[in-house]
Amino acid sequence: MKKTRILSAALAALLCMSALIACGDDGSTAPAAGTAADGAGQTVTEAETTEDDGEPELPDADFGGDTFNWLLRGETNAYVEKWVVVDEMDGEVVNDAIFERNRAAEEKFNCKITATFQEGATSYAQKAVMAGDNTFFAVFDSKNQLSSGIQQHIFIDLNKLQHCDLSAPYWDKNCVDELSIAGKTYMMASDISMMNLTAPRFLYFNKKIMEDYGLKSPYDYVHENEWTLDNFLPMVSAVSEDLNGDGKMDREDKFGMLTEDGAGNGNILYFLVGSGIRSTTNDENGIPQLSFFSEKAQTVIEKVAAVLKSKDTCIEYNTCAKGADYSQFHHLYEYCRSLFAAGHFLFVQNGCYESIQFTDMADDYGVVPNPKYDSSQENYYHRTDPYDTLLSVPITNTDFERTGLLLEWLSWKSSKTLLPAFYETTVKLKRQRDETAMEMLDIIKGSIYYDIADIFGLGISEVIWNAYNKEDLASQYAKNEEKMQKKIDKLVETITEG
């Protein structure tokens, strides 16, 4: 059942950031979705000259007390969108940053910000669009759900929004580069939500196990530009200990890594991306082209499989949880991660939000990027969990000016309030235990990769997973190339005809 939350308007102090120039196509000035119809008191005037306080240079605007209602992913979902609205201040730093950000926007633009939480937000939006219902001005839902709505033409090309500078740091430029098709951008990551920062998966490591086995710190490898697969994988292989002496390796023992299988979030998908291998790459016209098949990809698959498939040094989530009573945990994944906190694994690969499970961990732990392919690789890369949320705007919202103003300002404001509250305080200071971990998180934050193949269901991850299982990329690619290409062609045709 849907639930609506309304935030009261009040004044909040504005913070500073480097000045930015607004951009976007011209659009209608009809009332925003979910606003009053008479437009009383609604004015948009030319921007006044202000001191260089860092706020984006947007025109002054009075929205006449109108309501801007978000449609957000439902509250019972494991990936609930919880960064956009809250009921009230409660003293928790992230919660209060969200509340104060929205109060500031309401005061600045003379509007009200509300939210409706709905399971299947995109499906709900599609019904609203079909009915001509403009209740929602914008939507946050999972990428794979939004992709369905995009192909049904229920969302606008975000380049139409006036005043939105999608190249600004509080929007994720990687998202524009990797999720645009033929120059059209239908979903975006913004600092309005921290979900995209919880999505990239990296490596946690147990410092005590590292020291007990006399292994060189991953931090040192990063600083020497030698954090590569060839240095990471031997560390995994080095750790194997039958702690209870029963002659078999199970969750009671010590392993080099807790691993994950599957075409959705299997470790190999993250290590391939970390090695600079992309499922598709856009050509000069913005059209996706298959790009993951190579000798390099085959080499990565072989190297990773040789280590992560070893039952002596690695244990997979489902095997780890088999026969265990994990009823006090939300799911088997949370249960198995509790065993990392208990000192059973050297490495586990997850996102930053999972660090909440390690807050009271007895051993010190560190965080490190996924390894590069080799030292000649310039950057690190981190694939996002395909189920996190992004922002889209339904076609029933034709107010491109006021919507653009509100989204741009909220994104900027979030970068000065919510982002520091979440990233600096909750993740870095509360949960991480050393300055180098903060440095590692900064690397990870700037290297997020959005895989269009995952999001639009092109079947590439399934091909990669099967190739990993059989350790034969060439035959799997040859068998599926035509099928994958047809899916890409269909996607491009659908997008470009909209």
Give the integer Cα–Cα distance in Å for 281 and 287: 8
Pick the CATH number of 3-197+387-430 from 3.40.630.40, 3.40.190.10, 3.50.50.60, 3.30.70.580: 3.40.190.10
Contacts of 27 (CB under 8 A, 6+ apart): 160, 161, 162, 398, 399, 400, 401, 404
Q: Where in the chain is the domain with CATH 3.40.190.10?
A: 3-197+387-430, 202-383+458-492
3-state secondary structure 313-361: CEEEHHHHHCCCCCCCCCCHHHHHHHHHHCCCEEEEEECHHHHHHHCCC
Q: What distance lies between CA 464 and its chain's CA centroid?
A: 21
How far is Cα 165 from Cα 229, in angstroms, rounded to an integer?
37
Tokens of 183: 């120059």
Residue 123 has a CB neighbour count (10 Å cut-off) of: 15
**DSSP states along 424-454:** IIIIIIHH--SHHHHHHHHHHHTTEE--HHH
**Per-residue pLDDT of the chain in tens (498 residues, 90 and over written 9):** 334 333 333 222 222 222 222 333 333 333 333 333 333 334 444 334 334 446 899 999 999 999 999 999 986 656 788 899 999 999 999 999 999 999 999 999 999 999 999 989 999 999 999 999 999 999 999 998 999 999 999 999 999 999 999 999 999 988 998 999 999 999 999 999 998 888 899 999 999 999 999 999 999 999 999 999 999 999 999 999 999 999 999 999 999 999 999 998 999 999 999 999 999 999 999 999 999 999 999 999 999 999 999 999 999 999 999 999 999 998 999 999 999 999 999 999 998 878 888 988 999 999 999 999 999 999 999 998 877 899 999 999 999 999 999 999 999 999 999 999 998 787 887 777 778 988 998 899 889 999 899 899 999 999 999 999 999 999 999 999 999 999 999 999 999 886
* 3-state SS assignment for residue 394: strand
Tell me the C-alpha distance between 332 and 338, whole Å: 10
Give domain 202-383+458-492's CATH architecture. Answer: 3-Layer(aba) Sandwich (3.40)
Query: Are residues 254 and 241 in contact, defined by beta-carbon separation less than 8 angstroms?
Result: yes
Q: How far apart are CA 439 and CA 194, in angstroms?
A: 19
> 3-state class of 250 per DSSP?
coil
CA distances from 272 to 79, 309, 458, 477 (A): 24, 16, 17, 15
